Structure 1
Amino acid sequence: MPALSSTMTEGKIVSWIKSEGDLLSKGESVVVVESDKADMDVKTFYDGILAAIVVPEGETAPVGVPIGLLAETEEEIAEAKAKAASKASGSTPPVDINKVVRTGPYGRVTPADVEAAAGIAVSKPSKSLAATVKAAASSSVPPPVPGSNIVPFTTMQAAVSKNMVESLSVPTFRVGYLVITDALDAFHDTVKPKGVSVTMTALLAKAAAMALVQHLQAVKMARASRTTDADKLDLYLLSKKWKELAVKARAKQLQPHEYNSGTFTVSNLGMFGVDRFDAILPPGHGAIMAVGASKPTVLADKDGFFSVKNKMLVNVTADNRIVYGADLAAFLQTFARIVENPESLKL
């Protein structure tokens, strides 16, 4: 199983393009693997014969584990098949998670539950421990919900969950900033009829990139996918490129260079009416900006007169090992200035 991304720990076999016994040429696609980012064709580095498929379609294997065996000659096929059979016989028997009897707290599955379902002998705990576990299970396991079922994570969902948990170990801090958006809203209305769909997220990303470049050396902007040098791209080209990447992301066809090495992420939930939220820092990123909805707000000017303006709250979560609070505050001031005077976004 190849490592198709820097964060991939396991992969799922989507389909075998080649069958056992097929002749293979170097560089030819053999199997489609679902990584934590996308579905990708895996090519062979050698000429030969696909002697045996070790991991069938629909199953998952850790990175580095053989998923198929290649033979140089027909005489080696029998030996390869024998190796594949021995690997299969020595593997852990599959377990239907829906049929596992749950004894853990709140109906959770424990290792002992899985071993019991697989027919593996489980070492008996001491009586006192067993009594404690039994009492806890009987008091904390909720009654089953009629018609409920467990839907397993996809490879990507499992990777996101794992990466987010790991990210919580990073020393982060958060800074919020209110930005007036009346000028940006009006600017958005003027650029929408140009034939290319320019979203508010694209405008915010462009503004963030332009602000970042004044405080950093290089800008690699990310959403679900990565856009390099977003500050240098024309607004319409940026929107067009993001749309293309979004289509590929939904189809799980992104290539590693299209999602790796992002350093700053924009996460916008404003279109759902969310006022504010905090985002978890993605692995390897310096910061992530969480953007809330723009709302009418009553403001008082320096002369004491009141007016209504649209304001949105942006919350930035940053890695405190590489970003200082004063630098982040300065970036947010620059970002707000660009949003409140958006004509420069056309460049």
Structure 2
Amino acid sequence: MSSLLQSTPSLSFSSSSSISGSNSQWRFTSSPAVTFTRRTRNFTVHAKIREIFMPALSSTMTEGKIVSWIKSEGDVLSKGESVVVVESDKADMDVETFYDGILAAIVVPEGESAPVGAPIGLLAETEAEIEEAKAKAAASAGGGSSPVTPPPPAPVAAAAPPAPAAAAPVVADGPRKIVLTPFAKKLAKQHKVDINKVVGTGPFGRITPGDIEAAAGIAKSAPPAVTAPVATATVAAAAAAPAKSVPTFAEIPGATIVPFTTMQAAVSKNMIESLSVPTFRVGYPIITDALDALYAKVKSKGVTMTALLAKAAAMALVQHPVVNAGCKDGKSFTYNSSINIAVAVAINGGLITPVLQDADKMDLYLLSEKWKELVEKARSKQLQPHEYNSGTFTLSNLGMFGVDRFDAILPPGQACGAIMAVGASKPTPVADKDGYFSVKSQMLVNVTADHRIVYGADLAAFLKTFAKIVQEPDSLTM
């Protein structure tokens, strides 16, 4: 009897594989290229082309932009080697290959974007498969890699998707890798469609929103022949609108339209989402003479004012855990076990909030060193996801710009229920309890909080504790 297993390379495949001796096509998600021998029949599985997918680099990322390809077509790759730099909504990150092979084709070139899960490159196992990979890449580029924008052929194309849905149960019998766009995934959940029984009509078998609608039995609204003139008139009006708006921009000399970067688009989306959270704001004046004196002593040791404020906020949050809580679903509290202070940092083309994790437990000097490291990584767009999406309380300091006061917008989608805006510390006439005036350094802080979980008395009590720590800052160095 022949050996049952002749070769077992430790590679996984996500592309189509062919089985000799059978006309069926199968998809393997983690199957090595092996040859099986039996008495009655021989089955040989040959690995073909593997796909390099657009990874999800953050919890809020829906698409990524190719910053640069580190490797070129034809380069031989080793497992774990960096292949491409991808810009997410937060940072630029290197994407590694999980396989050995040859970079046969680049599907998404530099400067272009692709949804999470979409193939951005093709990896061949041998040189003989390179041409096949290039053909697949060309078919993907020519076959409409952007499922959102197929324009004119609406009536004819709308009737086509239901056909694959009927064949779905047959294909679902074999193992396959399921790839679908984020919108298609949302539709599948909404209409309770089993994606395992849907055949994708997109590039490389990707499931599109049209496939989900077809499987759910939702017919696309094809306008009757009677309304064709109306549709034509609508299209004509829509086409005329942009032409009419061009002179508006042209009236301003030198005006240009600059599209959002990936980060700016994410900030815009978050700011709109923040409008759905009911917030309120509380301001508090704090005397900073003692804090300024402490800062003068520790500044030479590398301690920044941001680190001092973050440490003070963390110590106050220990006594007021509700201000460190979050509300994600609008139905429950999330009391966070860690106090992670996210601090807003302005970077080229946007802003980001690196997180000082367990700030209440860290020594002030170690906290300052960690902060400097995070700022350097943020400005070079090298932060890892856990370094910017794990904040439980946010701090925004514009005091270094001489700003007296400002209101900060509560960042949505995080586990934090409050954000503190810190203004500059300036000489201010202050009256004591006997009515005598003296000039002291004073800063104004405004805290924006989620009113679903934090109430006025909670926030006022927190600010009173924070002010006491700032006015008696010896505990910050202990």
TM-score grouping bracket, smaller chain normalisation: 0.7 to 0.9
Give CA deviations for 1:273-329 in whole Å, capped at 9, x if unaligned.
111111111231221111111232222222222222222111111222333332222
Determine whether 1:2 maps to 2:55: yes
1:115: which partner in 2?
Answer: none
Superposed CA offset, 1:40-79 (max 9, x none): 1101122332221000112122212111112234343333
Which ranges in structure 1 are unaligned for 5 or more consecutive residues?
Answer: 94-122
- Matching residue of 2:38: none
Give the AA of the match of 1:313. L
Distance 2:249 2:72 in 1: 47
Counterpart of 1:189? Answer: 296
1:70 to 2:177 alignment = no
| Aligned 1:5-84 pairs, distance under 5 A | 5-84=58-137
Alignment-mate amino acid for residue 291 of structure 2? L
Q: How does 1:128-139 map to 2 (within 5 A)?
A: 130=237
Deviation at 1:130, TM superposition (A): 4.2
| Equivalences, count | 314
The residue number in structure 2 matching 1:111 is none
Q: Secondary structure at the match of 2:284?
A: strand
Give the Cα separation in 2 of the matches to 1:30 and 1:316: 44
Once the two structures are superposed, residues 179-223 of structure 1 have per-residue CA deviations (whole angstroms, 9 ceiling, x without a partner) of 1111111221121233x2x22222111110111122224200111
Return the letter of the residue paired with 1:39.
D
TM-score between the two structures when normalised by the length of structure 2: 0.61
For the pair 1:290 / 2:290, whether they are aligned, the reply is no
Does the aligned pair in 2 maintain the 1:168–1:280 contact within 8 Å?
no
1:1-347 equivalent positions in 2, closer than 5 A: 1-91=54-144, 124-126=232-234, 130=237, 141=248, 143-194=250-301, 196=302, 198-216=303-321, 217-223=337-343, 224-283=353-412, 284=414, 285-347=416-478
Is contact 2:249–2:255 with CA below 8 Å preserved after alignment?
no
Tell me, in whole angstroms, the C-alpha distance in 2 between the residues paired with 1:125 and 1:232. Answer: 66
Q: Considering Cα pairs closer than 8 Å and 6+ residues apart, tell me whether 1 or 2 has the greater RCO.
A: 1
Provide the C-alpha distance between the structure 2 equivalents of 1:326 and 1:72, rounded to a whole number of angstroms.
Answer: 65
Alignment deviations for residues 316-347 of structure 1 (CA, whole Å, 9 cap, x no partner): 11222333332222111110000011111112
Alignment RMSD, CA only? 2.6
Cross-structure match for 2:50: none
Paired with 1:299 and 1:71, the residues of 2 have a C-alpha distance of 74
Identity among equivalent positions (%) equals: 77
Q: Name the residue aligned to 1:105.
A: none
| Residue 295 to residue 140, structure 1, CA distance change in 2 (3 Å) | farther
Q: CA deviation at 1:145?
A: 2.3
Amino acid at match of 1:343: D
The whole-number CA distance in structure 2 between the counterparts of 1:124 and 1:339 is: 67
Instruction: Name the SS for the 1:232 alignment partner.
Output: coil
Take 2:72 and 2:245, find their aligned partners in 1: how far apart are those partners?
A: 50
d(CA) in 1 for partners of 2:139, 2:245: 41
Cα distance in 2 for residues equivalent to 1:270 and 1:124: 57
Aligned to 1:108: none
Distance 1:238 1:46 in 2: 39
CA contact (8 A) 2:354 2:375 kept: yes
Partners of 2:286 and 2:292 in 1: CA distance = 12
Pair 139,43 (structure 1): closer, same or farther in 2 beyond 3 Å:
closer
The CA deviation string for residues 16-38 of structure 1, in whole angstroms up to 9 with x for no partner, is: 12222223232221111111121
Paired amino acid for 2:429: V
Taking the aligned partners of 1:81 and 1:172, their CA distance within structure 2 comes to: 53
Q: Distance in 2 between matches of 1:162 and 1:276?
A: 25
Counterpart-to-counterpart distance in 2, 1:193 and 1:247 = 19
TM (norm. structure 1) is 0.83
Cα deviation for residue 147 of structure 1 reads: 2.3
Larger radius of gyration: 2
Match of 2:149 in 1: none
CA contact under 8 A between 1:30 and 1:43: conserved in structure 2?
A: yes
